[in-house]
Structure 1
């Protein structure tokens, strides 16, 4: 599963990738083609490269080397198509040969910088393309330009010399055509000579793109002060977790984002809280942190220990199927069905489900939530499920958003200020402890007194009954 397949599925992932200052198209392609990693060793290898690059920033000399390499990478062109042409033994054009020469020179320059500044830890050894440079740059000028040099053919050299001294236009035309034919012969010879090196050129292009991506990651992680996640065995633990895009939006408004601590063991966790309690954002932040980790990124948390999974399945009730005409309930149930199918197949999942069955009647809604928790519990699936339902009898771990804090209210309370009166801390609870804050919040907002009186009377009668 490539990152490009996740970019519109995981909230905040596009925001993160857009914030990366990647200099080259090859680096951007490398980002989008990153594979979803489940092997801890492979994930740790990527993260270790980031660790090494960050550690080099504390040494002035090595930091200078990294800056020089970053500047060089601004000149990296994505010539994957040209390399494929070369590998198919097709005769290259002058533009093709120029692109190959330019990549080979750039590769050698960056190899030299890595050796000179002792930066070997930021990349696997780049391939040696010095032979390609010597073939395409026989005059050893390292100029970003390609020309069919006289050195490639004695016959061509002689024809060009004749052309300079010939005065008869008809003869000049004959010499010129003969020279063009000889140039075609040289292009064919060069293409045949370089074709066996196509694999090395492709390796160099991919590694330089990966290096561009690595340096962009380092800049972003340092700037945002993200933390290096550790691979965990049993329980995922996220301390001081934030959603970076929401954090940015709130910051632009002068508001703050309250970081959240949460652990996710190998069992479902039921989370309750009022509508404004940030449950949806929490699930999105968890999904983003898990996804970033499995693509070798640091994560937006103060501390993170994460268990790798085969897939993250996030249901927020806003599936594409809804926009395609399927009812919200129908789309949601089909997604829950997909989760159940994955569980049945033995897929290691992180399931994140926001208020399932919220649009159906409470009796059946509670049955659906209970059935989902029971299924996930039997298969020991890591899951966070949020709900408003208060009679879920299935044994499971339960958390509650601490919720509305009346002591934080500044009257008159405006609707857009409600979030400032909420404590988003998660507390472990036992039993069906659901929030009962809605009517009191409505009263503080100044909702019609007669309506509030009727609501409270109805609630009182219901409790008595």
Structure 2
């Protein structure tokens, strides 16, 4: 079984669905493409660069030919998913009138999209996903070139159908003529028949009712208040002839639909190819709109092993902050070695930094522009994320046990070129054993091909050689007295406004800052307890 680049759970962990949900796709084929999106692998760099070239050109069209491009996109709303009909054509199953109408509508919209592409010089700009000419299919389904949207089986599809319909017209004329003659005759005999052949007789007019009932030229129709209604009987031979012709017309129309279905088989490849192009067009424009709306940039794909992120943003967090009038502090980070450690307080932003790294890297490999100022990265074979509660009731595992089961899957692939992201390693077990397991894992990963980013609050792990250490700034540069006063006045939620989530590269030997002491102090913990905690830690974080 082929191992995925990233699991569904890890996609959720990195909030990728939040991004996919914000792609404004208009066509069912675009939605279908989104559901089946797969990342580019390490051997598909040329294909990924081509994807970025196409997206760059589409963004250029969006910025400089916005109205024309959105007009093209507007046509995508008219596209219907007709895969079942395509299958029926391929199986030579005779299409219904509704199906032929839907095919006619589809190719008509395809022609509009093609004309829009011509106006946009799409082929020169994008160099892909051109809608193929469908004019012959339009002529097939609209042979009289009426331009009407409805589908009709025209008489010129078949000489026999033409002759049947001419005969039907003659029968209808004969029926009307015979009825007119009969009405005139009945009127001359003092029957008050209307020109439409109806005769209303008052309930009390027994003589007239008796005359009508005894006359075979009348047929009872209905009763209405105070009246009985009769109608003139149509000539049986003409009605029989009309029914015979209608049956022949239905049979011949079936033959015509059968021939049209066979004719459409010759164009099926063109139609299906166009739906595939429509999906790509829809996706390209949606990606372009997303890139502009969220200020995303083109990633630089490099053969070098480093991942360099300048002013990276975690889109979901940034979006949530902007909704309440706050600003996400961009993060700079460079993964230069096999293992990078991120330290900081539990609420200091380590997890956000970890997820941001995974989010921008995976987006790039899915062919998206990324929410950074710059991103330079290699392509990875896989991304693994360990974040959140791994407790498994079904397997009888604790949080720690579930975490180890997950991490072992990444270890098995560490000889591949992957990106392994682990948040608070061994947080579900006792500190001494957790430290030992964490250090052993870091020492193992530093010699592997994969890159690993690990957040931790264990002292001593950053001393492992051949690792890079980043520290979240947190509350290191703030006036604690001022913040304490504001928290007392406005509440603890204010603390996040003063937390600096930027990463600083520091010496691997530097002790992990005890932000928990600062936070406890700010939250109003008894000063006697805070001071004793500082003493126990040997004065750490004590000014």
TM-score (normalizing by structure 1): 0.92
Asked whether the 8 Å contact 2:308–2:376 carries over to 1, the reply is yes
Per-residue deviation at 1:2?
Answer: 9.3
Unaligned runs of 5+ in 1: none
**Structure 1 residue 329 and structure 2 residue 400: aligned?**
yes
Residue of structure 2 in register with 1:436 after alignment: 514
**Structure 1 residue 351 and structure 2 residue 429: aligned?**
no
Asked whether the 8 Å contact 2:390–2:400 carries over to 1, the reply is no
Per-residue deviation at 1:173?
Answer: 1.4
2:96 pairs, out of 88, 93, 97, with 93
Residue of structure 2 in register with 1:422 after alignment: 499
Q: Secondary structure at the match of 1:19?
A: coil
**Structure 1 residue 150 and structure 2 residue 160: aligned?**
no
Asked whether the 8 Å contact 1:268–1:380 carries over to 2, the reply is no
Residue of structure 1 in register with 2:26 after alignment: 23
Separation in structure 2 between the aligned mates of residue 385 and residue 295 of structure 1, nearest angstrom: 24
Separation in structure 1 between the aligned mates of residue 10 and residue 398 of structure 2, nearest angstrom: 24
Q: Secondary structure at the match of 1:263?
A: strand
Q: Secondary structure at the match of 2:310?
A: strand
Residue of structure 2 in register with 1:79 after alignment: 82
Residue of structure 2 in register with 1:364 after alignment: 433
Residue of structure 1 in register with 2:289 after alignment: 219
**Structure 1 residue 381 and structure 2 residue 384: aligned?**
no
Q: Could you give the per-residue CA deviations for residues 12-70 of structure 1, whole angstroms, max 9, x where no partner exists?
A: 222212222211221111122122112111111111111112222454xx434212211
Compared with structure 1, are the counterparts of its residues 159 and 19 closer, same or farther at alpha carbon in structure 2 (3 Å cutoff)? same
Unaligned runs of 5+ in 2: 176-237
Residue of structure 2 in register with 1:445 after alignment: 523
Q: Secondary structure at the match of 1:378?
A: coil
Asked whether the 8 Å contact 1:266–1:381 carries over to 2, the reply is no
Higher Cα radius of gyration: 2
Per-residue deviation at 1:433?
Answer: 2.4
Q: Could you give the per-residue CA deviations for residues 331-368 of structure 1, whole angstroms, max 9, x where no partner exists?
A: 1111110101122xx43211110011012111211122
Count of equivalent residues: 459
Structure 1 segment 374-413 matched on structure 2, within 5 A: 374-392=443-461, 393-395=463-465, 396-404=467-475, 405-407=477-479, 409-410=482-483, 411-413=485-487
**Structure 1 residue 277 and structure 2 residue 348: aligned?**
yes
Separation in structure 2 between the aligned mates of residue 373 and residue 322 of structure 1, nearest angstrom: 28
Separation in structure 2 between the aligned mates of residue 242 and residue 336 of structure 1, nearest angstrom: 26
Separation in structure 2 between the aligned mates of residue 3 and residue 458 of structure 1, nearest angstrom: 43
RMSD over aligned Cα atoms: 2.5
Asked whether the 8 Å contact 1:27–1:209 carries over to 2, the reply is yes
Separation in structure 2 between the aligned mates of residue 2 and residue 210 of structure 1, nearest angstrom: 22
Residue of structure 2 in register with 1:295 after alignment: 366
Asked whether the 8 Å contact 1:11–1:284 carries over to 2, the reply is yes
Tell me whether 11-20 or 321-330 shows the greater mean CA deviation.
Answer: 321-330
Q: Could you give the per-residue CA deviations for residues 406-450 of structure 1, whole angstroms, max 9, x where no partner exists?
A: 327532424212222222221222225211221232122211234
**Structure 1 residue 262 and structure 2 residue 333: aligned?**
yes
TM-score (normalizing by structure 2): 0.79
